[in-house]
Every structure is written in structure tokens, then in C-alpha cells.
Chain A
């Protein structure tokens, strides 16, 4: 019972490099989210998706792009990494369009940009 799986778990990038974080869920959830967690700031929503083929901006979308080509996968891309993007990234999914379902989170990806 995998739930939400994030790949990779750790990564170090040089400024200006690009990378893609992969999130996969096996619960057939409609909603998927990408958050970043920084000390003292809780989790902030980067982008989210309400279904296959759809994406929307969250609170802090600049510098990131996303795609949801398949229902089970939600990709987060950094085209040109900056030190300000050093953070822990969490992917989450939830079952329905209703607000009352809890989100299930992946284990997180610790990204360092040097």
C-alpha cells in the first residue's frame, strides 16, 4: 500500500540547473498538490491539480512548472534552480473535489541549491 511516493528523496543542484520532481499516487485521487516547507513558514502551496490534464497556481508558483498528464502522476519542474528554492518539497493528494477529505502526503524531497 504505497500511498503517495516522491522521487527523489534528496537532491543537490547547482544554481541554474533544472530538475523534475515526480509524485505518484496509487489511490485514484483526483486532487494533487505540491507544497514547499521552509522553517517557520509552514507549508506553502506551489501548484495544484484538480484532475488529469489540469493545473492551477497556488500561493508561491514563481520559478516552478507542473504537469498532470496522467491521473496518478504530478510532476514539479524547476527550469533554472535558485538558492531561494532550497527547501523540503511535499506532494499530497486527496480523494474528491470536496473540502472535507484529508490530504495524504508523500515523504518529502529535500532539495539544496548551491
Chain B
């Protein structure tokens, strides 16, 4: 069985603040993949990033960065200089054994 915990259900920040979304996962598999998806108010799910269990390098893409720490089973997501358009629900997911398991999601509200 696998599980993803996103302890922060809602976060509210003011535009230009940095914000980190936490993700802790559980899996007994040694090979697995981690994902982040964004769900804007329009409702669709947008793929953001994929990381495999053997690659602990942090990744930066523009204002987005991801910190993967296998030792603590965490895959945290940071948005630098947040913008109103970043307001959405963000889901962390783990895929081990062909089943994609989602966390409960973190609703991020960025106020102008």
C-alpha cells in the first residue's frame, strides 16, 4: 500500500511571498515515482513535475522548485515570489506498482 500526506490543507499568502507545500509519502517499493499536479479553479489537472526514487537532485523550473529527500520520504514544492495565478489546489502523488496515489491536496490562495 502507498500513501501521501499533505498536512497543509490551506495556505494563504500575499503576492510575492515565497511558499512551500509539504508532501510526505509512504511506499514499500524501492522503485517509485513522485509527481506534483496543479488544479486551478477551472478544475482541470495540470502535470507539473515527475521525479524517480533514484534521483534526489533538486529541480528548479522558473519560480518553481522541488526538494526531494528520500531519507525523510518528503517531496516538497516551493513557489518563489508567488503570483495570484498560482492560486490553485496542488496535489502530490506517488506511483509504485502502476497505481497513482494522490495526497489530499493543499489549497493555495495568493492574495494581491
Contacts and interface: CB of A to CB of B under 8 A. Distances in A.
Interface of A: 31, 33, 35, 40-45, 48, 50, 58-59, 88, 90, 92, 97, 99-100, 102-105, 107-108
Contacts of A90: 45
B96 interface: yes
A60 B54 CA distance: 30
Contact of A42 (B32, B52, B91): B91
Interface residues of B, number: 25
Interface in B95-112: 95-105
Interface in B54-87: none
A99 B31 contact: yes
Contact of B100 (A33, A41, A88): A33
Contacts, number: 53
Nearest to A58: B99
Interface in B23-62: 31-33, 35, 43-45, 47, 50, 52
Contacts of B45: 90, 92, 105
Given A42-B91, A42-B105, A90-B45, A103 B100 contact: yes
